[in-house]
Amino acid sequence: MGLSALMTTTVAAGRLLLNAVLPPQCLACSTVVDTPGHLCGTCFGRFTFITPPHCGICGLPLDQTVTEDLICGACVAERPSYGRARAAFIYDDHSRPLVLKLKHGDRTDMAAHLAKWLARAGAEVIEAADVIAPVPLHRWRLLMRAYNQSALLARALGRLTGKAVVANALTRTKATVSQGGLSRTERRRNVAKAFAVHRAAAIDGKRVLLIDDVLTSGATANACALALIHAGAKSVDVLALARVPNPAGAA
Ligand SMILES: [Zn+2]
Ligand SMILES: [Zn+2]
């Protein structure tokens, strides 16, 4: 282990220890709460948890006047490579702080709590899965950040559900430019062929559940699903913590 990796691990361990002795904090705003792994009342009221009706494929929340799950326009126009995508809550100004905390390493202990949210939102896709695999970070980003937040979520979900986790099923073969500001088509092009299957034997013939932190356009999930299916996966579903409410509008 290099010195920087050792220091990062030590800092992370220190944080975990600190979090264990500090009073429980809201997962989003850090206000003190009664129970660990909860949101405070204010954040709970502001979060938009995703409930049916939603698109039967990509999980996009649909108009509340719809009585059952239908297929959204984007999925009718272009069917994704994955079967179904589900997410726990909408990614917006209120939920962003929680996602950033997980991403930037302030609170790696959050994953165990967030896995319960994933389990609730993704009950149907979890039940159908043989193995769980995270969306990988590029090696350089992994070095800078010391851990992959999607892998943390995948491992925590594996512990909670007893499903096998193949943490290194996929690798990123090229560093993609940031997806911000790109159109749907540009995002797809940006991530096409960016992923390779690292452990084909572990996913061959398996129904894979791919874990991501945030679904934006779905381009990353789509590229990962395509790589997994080419390598022999029987099917791929996606489960994310959060999703952008209107990917077409988000462009
Ligand atoms: Zn809060
Ligand atoms: Zn859809």
Confidence (pLDDT) at 69: 64
Confidence (pLDDT) at 63: 76
Confidence (pLDDT) at 250: 43
175 exposed, middle or buried (CB, 10 Å; 0-12, 13-18, 19+)?
A: exposed
Ligand 2 midpoint to CA 119 (Å)? 21
Confidence (pLDDT) at 145: 63
Confidence (pLDDT) at 212: 95
Confidence (pLDDT) at 251: 36
Confidence (pLDDT) at 165: 97
SS3 call for 59: coil
Distance CA 92, CA 217 (A): 14
Q: What is the DSSP letter of 177?
A: P
201 exposed, middle or buried (CB, 10 Å; 0-12, 13-18, 19+)?
A: exposed
Ligand 2 midpoint to CA 245 (Å)? 11
- Does residue 13 lie within any of the structural domains? no
Closest ligand to the CA of 98? 1
Closest ligand to the CA of 82? 2
- Does residue 29 lie within any of the structural domains? no
Which residues partner with 175 through β-bridges? none
Ligand 1 midpoint to CA 178 (Å)? 29
Backbone Cα Rg of the chain: 18
Ligand 1 midpoint to CA 97 (Å)? 10
- List the CATH number of the domain containing 76: 3.40.50.2020
Confidence (pLDDT) at 198: 87
Nearest to 171 by CA among 144, 140, 196: 196
DSSP string spanning 90-152? E-STTTHHHHHHHHTTS-TTHHHHHHHHHHHHTHHHHHH-SEEEEPPPPHHHHHHHSS-HHHH
Residues 98 and 29: beta-carbon distance below 8 Å: no
Task: Return the half-sphere exposure (C-beta side, CA atoms, 13 A cut-off) of residue 199.
Answer: 15
- Does residue 94 lie within any of the structural domains? yes
Ligand 2 midpoint to CA 113 (Å)? 28
- Does residue 9 lie within any of the structural domains? no
Residues 195 and 225: beta-carbon distance below 8 Å: no
Confidence (pLDDT) at 177: 61
SS3 call for 196: strand
Domain total in the chain: 1
Confidence (pLDDT) at 23: 87
Closest ligand to the CA of 30? 1
Confidence (pLDDT) at 17: 62
Distance CA 94, CA 36 (A): 19
Q: What is the pTM of this model?
A: 0.85
For every one of its 251 residues, what pLDDT tens digit does the chain have, with 9 covering 90 and above? 455 555 556 656 666 666 667 788 999 998 999 998 999 999 999 999 999 889 999 999 887 676 666 898 889 999 999 999 999 999 999 999 999 988 876 667 899 999 999 999 999 999 999 999 999 986 666 666 667 899 999 999 999 999 999 998 998 887 666 666 777 677 767 776 789 898 889 999 999 999 999 998 888 999 999 999 999 999 999 999 999 987 654 43
Q: Which domain holds residue 226?
A: 47-250
